[in-house]
């Protein structure tokens, strides 16, 4: 039996945010010891066929940690040791934020999902920027840049730039988060004018590589608008997708009534369809995120056009060996289908 199978029932007895705090503390402790290299030896899958290049970054493998798991950039080295090929920290806002009152994170075990309305709780850009500058991580680290809670949409461009300035020298790439369903006014941020103003301000400031993260709830015309902006400002990539505010009829867990963004298995299909829609209409790399918990899930997103994938909810349900398991599984799937590398499989399912 794997250690996580033993720990999971205990962890799942705790409120989800408490369990997350324990895991975080454990990984934080681990990061300060020499045991980290032993962890990397156990979990990191080193194989050239998994190596991927996208938006100027070299990823040892295409499986990354999605934004929200390490909001304050406290454990990126531990996550790299668990075999993840990159880590996106944040969302980060200009000032520290407490987020919404607890409880604000809910498990939907019957559905393999989570609902969260964290509300972008984080230590603020100054502290996180400093932490990033002090930490050396041997995989690329992205920073998810979000709008501060009390800033009006018309002041959002300056607010994003302020946050970017504080973290700029600590990140390898930057993700404009205009799709967080738990921040006030997020719907307006995704309209064409608001998004263009935010992106233009960041590009003028020299924010590169710069990616934009989209909601799975965007109707096709709005996705097309977003892709026009990606082209107009020559952005470096698209992250698809964030959580959904919709509730599929198939959900069984009583927690489906909670407000917030739904992640995990229930959004795997919709987010893969969004990856494919985006990848078929743009030349920039797409990072696929939403419901990835097995090698098959990751492979579907890669074949749909994702250059790399990320996950959060899968880590909660499958535990610390998830990156290793997905990477081993990907190698088998590549072999089965006669591909020499992950890069060869990117987008093969396009029409």
Q: Which of 52, 100, 242, 245 binds ligand FMN (CB under 6 A)?
A: 242
Q: Which residue lies nearer to ligand FMN by CB, 49 or 90?
A: 90
Residues identified as active-site: 180
d(CA 234, CA 242): 22
d(CA 65, CA 289): 9
Q: Which residue lies nearer to ligand FMN by CB, 54 or 65?
A: 65
Q: Would you give the binding string for ligand FMN spanning residues 97-136, x where CB under 6 A is met?
A: --------x--------x-x-x-x----------------
Site for ligand FMN in 55-84 (CB under 6 A): 66-68, 71
Q: How many residues bind ligand FMN (CB under 6 A)?
A: 28
Quick check: 205 and 165 in contact, CB under 8 A?
yes
Q: Which residue lies nearer to ligand FMN by CB, 67 or 342?
A: 67
3-state secondary structure 299-340: HHHHHHCEEEEEECHHHHHHCCCHHHHHHHHHHHHHHHHCCC
Burial class (CB in 10 A: 0-12, 13-18, 19+), 228: middle
Q: Which of 137, 139, 145, 267 binds ligand FMN (CB under 6 A)?
A: 267
Cα dihedral 213→215→221→226 (10° resolution): -10
Quick check: 139 and 54 in contact, CB under 8 A?
no
* Residue matched to tokens 């999971």: 8
291 touching ligand FMN, by CB under 6 A: yes
264 touching ligand FMN, by CB under 6 A: yes
Q: Which of 189, 311, 326, 330 binds ligand FMN (CB under 6 A)?
A: 311
Q: Which residue lies nearer to ligand FMN by CB, 156 or 339?
A: 156
CB of 142 to ligand FMN, least distance (A): 10
Quick check: 143 and 210 in contact, CB under 8 A?
no
CB of 162 to ligand FMN, least distance (A): 17
Q: Which residue lies nearer to ligand FMN by CB, 100 or 243?
A: 243
Site for ligand FMN in 180-219 (CB under 6 A): 180, 213
314 touching ligand FMN, by CB under 6 A: yes
User: How many alpha carbons fall within 13 Å on the CB side of residue 179?
Assistant: 26
CB of 92 to ligand FMN, least distance (A): 8
CA distances from 33 to 22, 28, 38, 216, 323 (A): 17, 9, 10, 39, 21
Q: Show Cβ contacts of residue 85 under 8 Å, excluding neighbours closer than 6 positions.
A: 50, 52, 59, 60, 61, 62, 63, 64, 139, 308, 323
Q: Which of 79, 161, 279, 289 binds ligand FMN (CB under 6 A)?
A: 289
- Contact residues for ligand FMN, defined by CB under 6 A: 66-68, 71, 90-91, 105, 114, 116, 118, 120, 144, 177, 180, 213, 242-243, 263-264, 267, 289-292, 311-314
């Amino acid at each position: 039996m794997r250690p996580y199978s033993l720990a999971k029932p205990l962890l799942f007895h705790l409120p989800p945010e408490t369990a997350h705090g324990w895991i975080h503390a454990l990984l934080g402790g681990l990061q300060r010891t020499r045991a980290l290299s032993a962890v990397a030896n156990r979990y990191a899958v080193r194989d050239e066929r998994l190596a991927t290049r996208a938006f100027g970054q070299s990823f040892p493998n295409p499986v990354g940690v999605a934004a929200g798991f390490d909001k304050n950039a406290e454990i990126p080295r531990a996550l790299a040791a668990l075999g993840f090929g990159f880590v996106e920290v944040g969302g980060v806002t200009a000032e520290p934020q407490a987020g919404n009152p607890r409880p604000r994170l809910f498990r939907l075990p019957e559905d393999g999902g989570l609902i969260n309305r964290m509300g972008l709780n984080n230590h603020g850009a100054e502290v996180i920027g400093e932490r990033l500058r002090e930490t050396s991580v041997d995989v690329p680290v992205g920073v998810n840049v979000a709008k501060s809670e009390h800033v009006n949409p018309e002041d959002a461009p300056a607010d994003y730039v302020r946050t970017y300035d504080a973290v700029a020298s600590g990140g390898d790439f930057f993700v404009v988060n205009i799709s967080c369903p738990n921040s006030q006014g997020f719907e307006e941020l995704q309209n064409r004018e608001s998004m263009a103003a935010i992106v233009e301000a960041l590009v003028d400031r020299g924010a590169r590589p710069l990616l934009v993260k989209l909601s799975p709830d965007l109707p096709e015309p709005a996705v097309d608008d977003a892709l026009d902006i990606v082209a107009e400002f020559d952005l470096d990539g698209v992250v698809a997708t964030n959580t959904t505010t919709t509730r599929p009829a198939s959900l069984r867990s009583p927690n489906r009534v909670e407000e917030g963004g739904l992640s995990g298995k229930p959004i795997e299909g919709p987010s893969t369809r969004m990856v494919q829609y985006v990848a078929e209409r743009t030349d920039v790399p797409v990072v696929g995120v939403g419901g990835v918990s097995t090698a098959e899930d990751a492979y579907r997103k890669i074949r749909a056009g994702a250059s790399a994938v990320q996950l959060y909810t899968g880590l909660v349900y499958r535990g610390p060996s998830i990156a290793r398991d997905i990477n081993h599984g990907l190698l088998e799937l590549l072999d089965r289908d006669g591909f020499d590398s992950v890069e060869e499989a990117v987008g093969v399912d396009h029409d």
